């Protein structure tokens, strides 16, 4: 049991687990046996799922503040965010290869389901680049401000998912729980702030 705990606490083991789904995708591309539509769908879904996984950790920690598993997740949240960006880049690579030329990419760029994907990826870039301790120390309080742009990226990802597939069932199944947890986090934070503000007045 202790060996399992040590393995799960190892950064190398976590990165290996997060990278594991990408192996058959890359092999499928290299060998030519992978269907491009499947590669696009799988890489995009993994990117969205890992982004959601990173985002739900904070509200889960608020909901279960004394549990070891939420503490474990909170310490390793950055891994999920960076992995989400890596799968988003892989998704982009598959898309570019599938389109075959810059002209074809530009021809459909204005479609709602397309430009939202590019916009979400563009937002992910500064988040991924600054997902390290050095950036956090240098940026200080501005680091958290920058990290909040993940929320518009999530909205863009949701729109991209819905309009690319022309149906919202799968996308909403992933994003509705995220929205519910974020609403919980906002309400919990707001109530805590109201309570702290009211306490001095009550004392007087």
Residue 15 has a CB neighbour count (10 Å cut-off) of: 14
In the chain, what are the domain boundaries?
2-191
* Dist. CA 100–CA 111, nearest whole Å: 18
* Dist. CA 111–CA 101, nearest whole Å: 17
- Give the list of residues 6+ apart from residue 105 with CB closer than 8 angstroms, or none: 96, 99
Provide the token pair at 59: 């509200």
* Dist. CA 199–CA 56, nearest whole Å: 30
Residue 187 has a CB neighbour count (10 Å cut-off) of: 11
The answer to whether the CB of 99 falls within 8 A of the CB of 37 is no
The segments of the chain whose pLDDT lies below 50 read 204
3-class SS of residue 167: coil
Residue 108 has a CB neighbour count (10 Å cut-off) of: 11
pLDDT digits (tens, 9 = 90+) for 89-139: 999 999 999 999 999 999 999 999 999 999 999 999 999 999 999 999 999
Torsion of CA 186, 175, 57, 6, to 10 degrees: 170
* Dist. CA 35–CA 157, nearest whole Å: 23
DSSP class per residue in 42-97: HHHHHHHHHHHHHHHHHHHHHHSTT-HHHHHHHHTHHHHHHHHHHHHHHHHHHHHH
- Global pTM value: 0.89
């Amino acid at each position: 049991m202790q060996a399992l705990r040590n393995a799960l606490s190892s950064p190398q083991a976590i990165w290996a687990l997060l990278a594991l789904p990408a192996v058959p995708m890359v092999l499928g591309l290299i060998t030519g046996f992978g269907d491009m539509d499947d590669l696009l769908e799988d890489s995009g879904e993994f990117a969205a799922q890992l982004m959601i996984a990173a985002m739900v950790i904070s509200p889960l920690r608020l909901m279960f503040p004394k549990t070891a598993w939420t503490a474990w997740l909170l310490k390793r949240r950055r891994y999920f965010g960076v992995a989400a960006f890596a799968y988003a880049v892989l998704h982009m690579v598959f898309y570019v290869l599938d389109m075959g030329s810059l002209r074809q990419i530009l021809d459909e760029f204005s479609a709602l389901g397309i430009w939202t994907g590019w916009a979400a990826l563009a937002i992910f870039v500064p988040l991924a680049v600054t997902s390290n301790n050095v950036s956090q120390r240098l940026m200080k309080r501005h680091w958290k401000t920058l990290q909040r742009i993940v929320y518009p990226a999530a909205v863009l990802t949701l729109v991209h998912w819905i309009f690319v597939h022309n149906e919202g069932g799968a996308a909403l199944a992933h994003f509705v729980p995220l929205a519910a947890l974020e609403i919980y986090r906002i309400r919990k934070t707001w109530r805590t702030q109201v309570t702290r503000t009211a306490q001095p007045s009550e004392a007087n």
